[in-house]
Amino acid sequence: MLPAQRRDWLLDRLRTDGRLVARDLAVELGVSEDSVRRDLRELAAAGLCQRVYGGALPVSPAVADYATRQDVETDSKRRVAAAAAALVVPGSTVILDGGTTTLAVTEALPRDLHVTVVTHSPTIAAALADHADVEVFLLGGRLFRHSMVTCGAAAVEAAQAVTADVFLLGVTGVHHEAGLTTGDADEAAMKRALSRRAADTYVLASAEKVGAASRFLVLPLAAVSGVVTDAAPDDPAVRQLVAAGARLVEPGRS
């Protein structure tokens, strides 16, 4: 098998199995483990997989720029947003992360809801401008344009003054082993800082994020109160999340 053919085979296997283990694949293909690792490096460089220790995982399409993500799995995001909005209790304080799924949450919140929202996303803050009964606090800092959120030292420091009931966390990957991941180290640090300021953290996981991974760990799966997802219960990646101890919050259920 030529190297190009082998890489195509690896991509097909990744789509089928949801993960690649370099050592096992080397034995199966009858090549050296170094050859497989080299193939995985090239696939990762092309944005076709996410390398992890010992192999690779599916790469999340949610690492695309903000404008592109607005058109990815829009129906799934609306379903997840509706379930997440139901977690927001009148009179509470909620931290809303940035991202297109969280933007859908603002649309799902009742117009007469009395709640305090803390966010580091100017986009989220602007979307709540016509919610007359929502008090909005916008955390300042360096603007990370890829996700349209503030992050960095100033933003993390501002987060220390916040105490919230719930944090609705956006990530780009939700995986039973890799945990909750995103594509930027500073953004991951900001998400961790926000999670520490809330009594409960729920991760928003539209279907394309489940079973995928990105470069930087935000939190281990055990650190959140639940995973809000509309992915099919019989999806192997969903079953693995449940087996790992994740509590699922699905549309129409609590």
The domain spanning residue 27 has which CATH number?
1.10.10.10
The domain spanning residue 183 has which CATH number?
3.40.50.1360
Q: Of the candidates 42, 59, 76, which is a domain's last residue?
A: 59
DSSP H helices in the chain:
3-17, 22-29, 33-45, 66-69, 74-85, 100-108, 122-127, 153-159, 185-195, 236-243
Same domain, residue pair 73 and 101:
yes
Show the low-confidence residues of the chain (pLDDT under 50): 68, 71, 254
Counting beta carbons within 10 angstroms of the beta carbon of residue 253, is it exposed (0 to 12), middle (13 to 18) or buried (19 or more)? exposed
State the Cα–Cα distance between residues 111 and 94, nearest whole angstrom.
16
Same domain, residue pair 19 and 144:
no
Same domain, residue pair 70 and 87:
yes
> How far are the Cα atoms of 4, 25, 42, 68, 129 from residue 8, in angstroms, in the given order?
6, 13, 12, 26, 48
Q: Of the candidates 14, 37, 59, which is a domain's last residue?
A: 59
> How far are the Cα atoms of 39, 91, 230, 231 from residue 207, in angstroms, in the given order?
27, 30, 6, 5
Same domain, residue pair 196 and 234:
yes
Number of domains in the chain: 2
Q: Of the candidates 32, 59, 86, which is a domain's last residue?
A: 59
Residue 158 lies in a domain: yes
Q: How confident is the model at residue 54, as a pLDDT?
A: 86
Same domain, residue pair 200 and 137:
yes
Same domain, residue pair 24 and 71:
no
Same domain, residue pair 29 and 79:
no
Residues near 173 by beta carbon (within 8 Å), at least 6 away in sequence:
50, 57, 60, 62, 180, 181, 182, 209, 212, 213, 214
Residue 188 lies in a domain: yes
Q: Which two tokens stand for residue 202?
A: 């729920």
Q: How confident is the model at residue 14, as a pLDDT?
A: 87
Q: Distance between alpha carbon 125 and the CA centroid of its chain, in Å?
A: 20
Same domain, residue pair 106 and 136:
yes
- 171, β-bridge pairs: none
Q: What are the tens digits of pLDDT across the range 169-182?
A: 999 999 999 999 99
Domain that holds residue 79: 66-249
Residue 113: in which H helix or E strand, if any?
Answer: none
Same domain, residue pair 211 and 104:
yes
State the Cα–Cα distance between residues 214 and 183, nearest whole angstrom.
5
Same domain, residue pair 72 and 24:
no
Same domain, residue pair 81 and 186:
yes
Same domain, residue pair 55 and 121:
no
Residue 254 lies in a domain: no
- 200, β-bridge pairs: 166
User: What is the value of pTM for the model shown?
Assistant: 0.83
